[in-house]
Amino acid sequence: MCHDLALSLHHSMFIPGIERLATDEQKAEWLPLALNFKIIGTYAQTELGHGTNLLALETTATFDPTADEFVMNTPKITSMKWWPGGLGKSSTHAIVLAQLVLRGKNHGMHPFIVQLRSLEDHTPMPGITVGDIGPKLALQNIDNGFLMMNNVRIPRTNMLMRNAKVSRDGHFSSSGSSKANYATMILIRVKILSWASSLLVQGATTSIRYSAVRRQSQLKPGGEEMQILSYQSQQYKLFPALAAAFAYHFVTRTMTAVYEKAYEEIIGGNNRLLAELHSQSSCLKALLSEETCVFLETQRRSMGGHGYMLMAGGGAYLLGAMTLPTVEGENTVLYQQTARYLMKQVANALSGQQLQGSSSYLAADPEYVCPIQEVNDCRNTRILLDIYRNRAYGIVTGTARKLHADMTSGMEQHVAWNNNMIRLVRAGKVHSQYYAVECFVEGVE
Amino acid sequence: MCHDLALSLHHSMFIPGIERLATDEQKAEWLPLALNFKIIGTYAQTELGHGTNLLALETTATFDPTADEFVMNTPKITSMKWWPGGLGKSSTHAIVLAQLVLRGKNHGMHPFIVQLRSLEDHTPMPGITVGDIGPKLALQNIDNGFLMMNNVRIPRTNMLMRNAKVSRDGHFSSSGSSKANYATMILIRVKILSWASSLLVQGATTSIRYSAVRRQSQLKPGGEEMQILSYQSQQYKLFPALAAAFAYHFVTRTMTAVYEKAYEEIIGGNNRLLAELHSQSSCLKALLSEETCVFLETQRRSMGGHGYMLMAGGGAYLLGAMTLPTVEGENTVLYQQTARYLMKQVANALSGQQLQGSSSYLAADPEYVCPIQEVNDCRNTRILLDIYRNRAYGIVTGTARKLHADMTSGMEQHVAWNNNMIRLVRAGKVHSQYYAVECFVEGVE
């Protein structure tokens, strides 16, 4: 998992951030410094008070036309940047996301390069208060930090201007290709699929090997102690996770291909696949991150007390995986983003539109009759896939009907959404499960 | 949680161990030293190779009549003592559980006081190899350790002889009151109920308070950001855990009273309640420890990314609680111990015996008809309790029938047990859930 490395944000966010967000001129200035470690960077977006609701971030970059500078401020306690890896002790620079203010008018969130610490003696620059946020459940090797800025001045040209510009005279212009930034956020969710998948593979290997070596107790009095893998209960703990590890491998492979195809279109200006990509990456990130945690904990316990030692391996995977359900979109929020897309698709289908992609099954009632006649049918993956599809169809369309009925009966939309939130989260989840099983079935066939 | 304290085993196991296992003469020798911290002790039972299967522990105490000493050995790598808290760096002495060998004959597990380190300079005593087992998921403040012994000699009188004796001439005698030791093991499981309960109360308080203070996003465009506790999904995460915290409080209170009554009888020589006590403490320890971990993790995530910081509180409770499903009896094993008792009770009922205690509901088919007629009936706790009882009856007796049918059809008993292990674990679990709900309903009424 990339999170295992200190300074990982220099490589995973700071350098790629410059590559994606900077003009060619800015790249020529900053990339050589970063690539040669003359400067160490991080990416500061989340604040103490806001993570999920990005639009409400409070850090400001106010243009001062007299000095041709931006004045950076974190006006309240809740505005301080909180969590960026490498910020606590290591970084000299950060890409800071801030509300751009021009002549009193807010032009939305934009990225700015801010120097945090002296390149001579590493002390904080004037107006900068920076430090480590303190101990976490694990990953202590990453110095997650906080950052407060009090009238910190940076040159106007430190705004990364590939997608939006502020001219010398304070004029704002946007190239409008902000969907490419959006696609980058989605990329991180797709990467989380591969991290979850890889952690689960490691956990499965460790716990199954342990269970083949460890012997404990005997069921037949006087007999030899049994390999614990021979106990039915141990197999029940370990084999579903092993199957899931394969499923997640195929999910990751499929979604990576879907992403690459969509990204190529998006940078070409065609956003046809964006909504589908956003929906699928949201619910699958939520599903794989939450289930991986459950499986890794089951695997850890399957090693008895030894699973609590870090040297056993499984516990360390688990503590790393436990970051995944809340980073890069909190899972409950992500399932709802998928649900919002699915509700629209159900409405589109009702209005006669042809549905494309992962939600096309919502177009028609499968009029499902369970085809299982004998035990062996339960091993037929196509039959299992049908069952998952039927379940998703029933729950997603049922949720849409309930939401529609509530609003028809006079409930305000936001009240109806909240009153049906458990259903909506479940709709996003069963949809993701159907898709994951589909990737699995197609992968193993 | 008592585990938070370094040296906790000195207080929770070493001193109580002397009090329960030593003769009056031995108490007079050791207790003043321990109570005045002239010596620091721990309790060494689990070995690298054996935790669950205590009968197979490999450490030996061989009597040497010439010297009037026991010779202590951990003959194999798997025999080394592993896990005792305070052993790694702090303890000078340990109560070591070892197989007593007299003239080549094994007389079973008995407790011996072994000096580990010099009282002058804290270096290991001759023949002792001792150290820290290394980093764990948490609780690094406790120096869990390992211990190897190579022909370590201790006086014969260091065997704690309240329940069994070895005389000067090597004669073994047992007072037969070993059930009192057994009851002490059960006491720790009852204590785990209160630890789990207390951790869950803390987790519920922290996460619900956070959710009342934290505001994020709005469902109504342009509205104020909502307290996250107002989201239906957040309530769904937090309120079941709050209810469970009350339920566990009542379970703990009930089981503590049951234990005290039974223990009084047991030390008086009456073991009538022992099997029931063992069964109930086993499945309830498993249930509360496993569910507490699930609830604490849900609570941690309900605080978003902040839940991953130790200062948020919830994560630290979780990491502590994660020891509970595998300590003092691994949960899957414990559910089966309850299941074994329940299978016997079903057989007893079939043979016409009157059933006592928690399993008396197994005596007669409740011929259950779900009495729910309207929504409000779902809030009737007596109806809910009936549903839990009926579920437990169906699953426990169904498991007994299946096990009996398999054996009647010629399957060997140990094969039948393994083939039905998932059912048996489930039987132990649903029985414990019924009992927990019963404690809850009676507690709140």
Tell whether B136 and B189 lie within a shared domain. no
- Please tell me the distance from the alpha carbon of residue B231 to that of residue B211, in angstroms, as a whole number: 10
Which positions of A are annotated as active-site residues?
A: 328
**Strand ranges, E, within B251-368:** none
Tell whether B181 and B287 lie within a shared domain. yes
Give 3-state DSSP helix, strand, coil % of chain B, rounded to 5.
Answer: 55, 15, 30
Within-domain flag for A412: no
- Count of CA atoms in the C-beta half-sphere (13 A) of A194: 12
| pLDDT (average), residues B80-94 | 96
- Please tell me the distance from the alpha carbon of residue B147 to that of residue B94, in angstroms, as a whole number: 10
What token pair was written down for A255? 């979604």
Tell whether B213 and B80 lie within a shared domain. no
pLDDT above 90: percentage of residues in chain B: 84
Closest CA to A226 of A213, A237, A236: A213
Judged by CB atoms closer than 8 Å, whether chains meet at B310 and A136 is answered as yes
- Please tell me the distance from the alpha carbon of residue A118 to that of residue A40, in angstroms, as a whole number: 11
- Of A233, A325, A414, nearest to B219 by CB-CB distance is A414
Residue B178: the pLDDT is 63
Closest CA to A75 of A49, A54, A44: A49
Q: Report the domain count for chain A.
A: 1
Residues 270-309 of A with CB under 8 A from B: 293, 297, 300-301, 304-305, 307-309
Helix ranges (H only) for A312-412 are 314-321, 331-350, 381-408
Q: Tokens 């620059």: give the residue.
A: A125
Tell whether B398 and B419 lie within a shared domain. yes
Cβ–Cβ contact A233 with B under 8 A:
yes
CATH code of residue A121 = 2.40.110.10
pLDDT above 90: percentage of residues in chain A: 84
Contact predicate B272/B319, CB 8 Å: no
Q: Tokens 């066939």: give the residue.
A: A445
Residue B33: the pLDDT is 98
Closest CA to A243 of A421, A409, A381: A381
Question: For the segment A243-286, what is each residue's pLDDT rounded down to a tens digit?
Answer: 999 999 999 999 999 999 998 898 788 889 999 999 999 999 99
- Please tell me the distance from the alpha carbon of residue B49 to that of residue B52, in angstroms, as a whole number: 10
Within-domain flag for B261: yes
Angle at B349 between CA B345 and CA B354, to 5 degrees: 95
Within-domain flag for B363: no
Cβ–Cβ contact B86 with A under 8 A:
no
Closest CA to A280 of A335, A355, A333, A330: A335
Judged by CB atoms closer than 8 Å, whether chains meet at B310 and A135 is answered as yes
B266 pLDDT higher than 90 = no
Q: Residue A20 carries which side chain, given as an amino acid letter? A: R
A292 pLDDT higher than 60 = yes
* Domain end marker among B263, B294, B328: B328
B177 pLDDT higher than 80 = no
Question: For the segment B33-74, what is each residue's pLDDT rounded down to a tens digit?
Answer: 999 999 999 999 999 999 888 889 999 999 999 999 999 999
Judged by CB atoms closer than 8 Å, whether chains meet at B418 and A230 is answered as yes
Contact predicate B133/B145, CB 8 Å: yes
> By CA distance, what is A140's nearest residue in B?
B309
Within-domain flag for A275: no
A235 pLDDT higher than 50 = yes
Place B105 in a pLDDT band, splitting at 50, 70 and 90.
very high
What token pair was written down for B190? 């009852």
Residue B123: the pLDDT is 98
| Lowest model confidence (mean pLDDT) among A63-67, A222-226, A412-416, B83-87 | A222-226
Angle at B85 between CA B79 and CA B86, to 5 degrees: 110
- Of B53, B236, B308, nearest to A136 by CB-CB distance is B308
| pLDDT (average), residues B191-198 | 96
Instruction: Determine the distance from the C-alpha atom of residue B331 to the mean position of all C-alpha atoms in its chain, rounded to a whole number.
Output: 8
Contact predicate B307/B314, CB 8 Å: yes
| Lowest model confidence (mean pLDDT) among A179-183, B38-42, B122-126 | A179-183
Q: Cα dist. B272→B80, B262, B268, B269, B275 in Å?
A: 37, 8, 11, 9, 8
Enclosing H/E stretch for A298:
helix A274-302
Residue A366: the pLDDT is 78
CATH code of residue B321 = 1.20.140.10
Q: How far is B74 from chain A (nearest CA, A)?
A: 18
Residue A52: the pLDDT is 87
- Please tell me the distance from the alpha carbon of residue B395 to that of residue B129, in angstroms, as a whole number: 50
Tell whether B163 and B32 lie within a shared domain. yes
Question: For the segment A408-439, what is each residue's pLDDT rounded down to a tens digit?
Answer: 999 999 999 999 999 999 999 999 999 999 99
Residue B268: the pLDDT is 83
Contacts 24+ apart (CB under 8 A), A49-54: A49/A76, A49/A77, A49/A78, A49/A79, A50/A78, A50/B216, A51/A330, A51/B216, A51/B304, A51/B305, A52/A329, A52/A330, A52/A333, A52/B216, A52/B217, A52/B304, A53/B216, A53/B217, A53/B225, A54/A109
**A140 vs A416, higher pLDDT:** A416
| A237 neighbourhood in chain B, CB within 8 Å | 332
Residue A166: the pLDDT is 97
Residue A178: the pLDDT is 63
* Cβ-proximal residues to B33 (8 Å cutoff; 6+ apart), any chain: B39
Question: For the segment A199-215, what is each residue's pLDDT rounded down to a tens digit?
Answer: 999 999 999 999 999 99
Residues 322-351 of A with CB under 8 A from B: 322-323, 325-327, 330-332, 336
Place B185 in a pLDDT band, splitting at 50, 70 and 90.
confident
Question: For the segment B295-317, what is each residue's pLDDT rounded down to a tens digit?
Answer: 999 999 999 999 999 999 888 89
Tell whether B400 and B293 lie within a shared domain. no
| Lowest model confidence (mean pLDDT) among A47-51, A371-375, B103-107, B146-150 | A371-375
Residue A177: the pLDDT is 61
Residue B1: the pLDDT is 36
Judged by CB atoms closer than 8 Å, whether chains meet at B326 and A310 is answered as no
Within-domain flag for A273: no
Q: How far is A115 from chain B (nearest CA, A)?
A: 26
Within-domain flag for B359: no
Within-domain flag for B269: yes
Tell whether B282 and B428 lie within a shared domain. no
Judged by CB atoms closer than 8 Å, whether chains meet at B305 and A46 is answered as yes
Residue A3: the pLDDT is 43
To test the contact with chain B by mutation, choose from A292, A306, A308 the residue with the greatest count of B C-beta atoms within 10 A, namely A308
Mean pLDDT of chain A: 94
Q: How far is B306 from chain A (nearest CA, A)?
A: 9
Judged by CB atoms closer than 8 Å, whether chains meet at B308 and A293 is answered as no
Contact predicate A427/A339, CB 8 Å: yes
Closest CA to B72 of B61, B58, B56, B64: B61
Tell whether B199 and B167 lie within a shared domain. no
Question: For the segment A68-95, what is each residue's pLDDT rounded down to a tens digit?
Answer: 999 999 999 999 999 999 999 999 999 9
Question: For the segment A324-370, what is each residue's pLDDT rounded down to a tens digit?
Answer: 999 999 999 999 999 999 999 999 999 999 999 999 999 988 788 88
Judged by CB atoms closer than 8 Å, whether chains meet at A83 and B305 is answered as yes
Question: For the segment B10-39, what is each residue's pLDDT rounded down to a tens digit?
Answer: 998 899 999 989 999 999 999 999 999 999
Residue A1: the pLDDT is 36
| Lowest model confidence (mean pLDDT) among A117-121, A233-237, B352-356 | B352-356
Tell whether B66 and B186 lie within a shared domain. no
Question: For the segment B370-424, what is each residue's pLDDT rounded down to a tens digit?
Answer: 889 999 999 999 999 999 999 999 999 999 999 999 999 999 999 999 999 999 9
Residues 54-73 of A with CB under 8 A from B: 56
Within-domain flag for A38: yes
Q: Tokens 């105490």: give the residue.
A: B61
| B336 neighbourhood in chain A, CB within 8 Å | 233
**A123 vs A7, higher pLDDT:** A123
Judged by CB atoms closer than 8 Å, whether chains meet at A309 and B135 is answered as yes
Q: Cα dist. B340→B54, B258, B289, B400, B426 in Å?
A: 18, 20, 20, 10, 12
A179 pLDDT higher than 80 = no
Query: Which range marks the domain in which residue B212 is found?
Result: 177-328
Residues 404-443 of A with CB under 8 A from B: 412, 414-415, 417-422, 425
Judged by CB atoms closer than 8 Å, whether chains meet at B134 and A297 is answered as no
pLDDT above 70: percentage of residues in chain B: 98
Angle at B29 between CA B159 and CA B24, to 5 degrees: 70
* Domain end marker among B175, B193, B211: B175
| B216 neighbourhood in chain A, CB within 8 Å | 50-53
